[in-house]
Structure 1
């Protein structure tokens, strides 16, 4: 490994300035790991009337037929391929490079921000960063996500119930275009976690501009024929009923993490399904992302300043990355780094020639595709010719 830089999790930036998120592009990802750019075919629409909630829907129904894609070695849930294809399509339309210092997925930034609140045991961070063409591209090293226990265990049932809730709460088309028989069959629909609809959002904190890809659970009301539907998206979550003080504290911690997910890309609406110990859906509640900081401040002294602290740490860690990693505008130079979380520090180390990962990261397709590299070279050449 090359030179090492570290950042203590207590570091804070003085800035709390956030850029208004803006949707730049979108794409659909299939169970077969195909990326459909500027395609909404995997978009879902929220539909869960009170009459359905009153039916005590079983959130473990169909668990044995669950189509689990995360355990498939051919299904790389961390790949930047679709994100880079979307950025390339956007740049081809605009004929200029997207304005961004860091390009990655929302989940990566959520993990990095969570370092200030969780130990490495509960928030493992293992990332690879490449510096190319003046920007940092960050990819998570894929880890097993599927609980190793049997499908009869409480752990697996809780894991599955989140996907089942999404399936029960959404339809594949706007409601006027959905048949009554399709609505009635939803409880028997086989669940999968392979199909995804991804938004590509430009946001930022302080002086750092970020381009983030993020899976969208559903459209809450309707989608517009425009370039920005962020205000129409909703995040879906499922958790146990809150029936005690301890339950309330656990839920507030979950709510903070969900707020973190949503504020990063500007999703304004969060919908929680609450289940009992038998995994029957009992109630549904909606939260406004903007109101959660005040809710936590008024109800939980331990989390009273968590949201503002998260923003200040967000600013500090992005400033550190931009300072610690050289960013050359050249389309020929690629530098690779490992980013991990150890002993209350983010640790950044260079990956040098001769290292086992070097060739794949710098010359291969682990992060940057040949098509994206070629496109950036062509774009730089155009810019140079126009500047003469």
Structure 2
């Protein structure tokens, strides 16, 4: 058993307060921060009953010398909605921080504290600091290696664990139940009974100056919505997108036990000091033309990301086309599915049922000490499992050390 202290994500009723780890910024400054914007989190939200009626499309076969197997997306949402998939309450078992320069520490020093008075920052210019922004580097498999190193450092046992992954890979799988026009790939490597899902970043189209600026607005809102963040006009330092805090979480989806790394934006605490995480998002201000797409697609992604890691709250900064913050909104993760349920846009239970089928197919297909690529690409009719040439060194070395 790991000696790593366990925090509550989110806190359960009548749960005893546990000691927190690390020395992150969140641990100080609770007093004199103003009234809490976020009320005390309640019990972990349970899934609702789900139902929907449209059909999935059917896949077209494509020949490849590397082709291993496929999963055709033929089941209707109505069929998937009848499956009751158990999802275990996520629990945090470790964490790590990346600081300026890329050095990684197995503590929470990079975790930021949510600013409860963020609603007073309406009118803030999210363009501020754009010229000194340090963009996120593509770490490739090295980023996955940091997660694996944290698992080893904290002596987290992998017996009976089926998947080790970043949350982003699970986000992609769950969202594919509804979003059928966004391609993705991930590495699949089975070692000692554990399937490691590595990150594969697809080539991106060249970004325009406006695209880069819109991406920056998201980081700028995170800066506005957290305490003790970089102040670009005082110390001259820009926002560094490579500084991050990652929670390591254990959960179970259907029959599959999962350990995943999940980057967290910030945290807050209850009156008795128990910590919970807060997801920060930005969106263009809504109007009658954009509200439906926002609820169909963005809220789906927001819900998946927060639900999988047990994050109870999402704070959204709405901005105009010039990058000015016009309002903020707080959402309870458990309330999002009810908001869209009456409109029949999507159902959370369908996403879980779809993911369960994918994980069952994947785990039952891949073989020990073999390497694959799982992809979802045009014409978006099936998931394809292809044989890969090799295994990343960081995964092979990790498997030898555990």
Question: Would you say 1:14 and 2:57 are equivalent positions?
Answer: no
1:77-113 Cα deviation digits (max 9, x unpaired)? 773111101111232xx6x435420100000111122
The Cα of 1:309 is off from its aligned counterpart by: 0.8
Partner of 1:105: 166
- 8 Å CA contact retained: 1:79, 1:139: no
Q: 2:291 aligns with which of 239, 248, 252?
A: 248
1:206 aligns with 2:254: yes
Does structure 2 retain, via aligned residues, the 8 Å contact 1:115–1:344?
no
Unpaired runs of 5+ in structure 1? Answer: 174-181, 328-333, 352-356, 377-388
- Which ranges in structure 2 are unaligned for 5 or more consecutive residues? 1-64
How do 1:97-246 residues align onto structure 2 when only pairs under 5 Å count?
97=158, 99-119=160-180, 122-144=181-203, 148-151=206-209, 153=210, 155-172=211-228, 190-221=238-269, 232-244=276-288, 246=289
2:7 aligned residue:
none
1: distance between equivalents of 2:243 and 2:201? 18
2:349 is aligned to: 308
TM-score between both structures, scaled by the size of structure 1? 0.77
Say if 1:77 and 1:368 are closer, same or farther in 2 by CA, change over 3 A: closer
2:133 & 2:324 partners in 1: Cα distance?
18
Q: Name the CA distance, whole Å, in 2 between partners of 1:78 and 1:35.
A: 11
Q: Secondary structure at the match of 2:128?
A: coil
Q: Does the CA-based 8 Å contact 1:200-1:211 persist in structure 2?
A: yes
Figure out how many residues of one structure are paired with residues of the other and give that number: 330
- Partner SS state of residue 154, structure 2: helix
Aligned counterparts of 2:87 and 2:366: Cα–Cα separation in 1:
22
Aligned ranges 1:1-388 → 2 under 5 Å? 1=65, 4-11=68-75, 12=80, 14-37=83-106, 39-49=107-117, 52-54=120-122, 56-70=123-137, 75-76=139-140, 79-91=143-155, 96-97=157-158, 99-119=160-180, 122-144=181-203, 148-151=206-209, 153=210, 155-172=211-228, 190-221=238-269, 232-244=276-288, 246-252=289-295, 253-298=297-342, 300-303=343-346, 306-327=347-368, 334-342=369-377, 343-351=380-388, 357-358=389-390, 361=391, 365=393, 367-368=394-395, 370=397, 372-376=398-402
Instruction: Mark the CA change 1:97 to 1:295 in structure 2 (over 3 Å): closer, same or farther.
Output: same
TM-score (norm 2): 0.75
Shift of 1:30: 2.9
SS at match of 1:163: helix
Contact 2:231/2:237 (CA < 8 Å) preserved in 1?
Answer: no
- 8 Å CA contact retained: 2:232, 2:238: no
Change (3 A) 1:321 1:224: farther
CA deviations on 1:281-311 (whole Å, 9 max, x unpaired) are: 111111011111111113x3333xx211101
Deviation at 1:69, TM superposition (A): 2.6
Deviation at 1:144, TM superposition (A): 4.9
Rate the CA distance shift 1:52–1:348 in 2: closer, same or farther, 3 A.
Answer: same
Secondary structure at the residue paired with 2:109? coil
Q: Is the Cα contact below 8 Å between 2:118 and 2:225 reproduced in 1?
A: no
Q: Is the 8 A contact 2:67 2:384 kept in 1?
A: no
Q: 1:101 to 1:161 in 2, by over 3 A?
A: same
Q: Secondary structure at the match of 1:18?
A: coil
Is the Cα–Cα contact under 8 Å of residues 73 and 383 in structure 2 kept in the other structure? yes
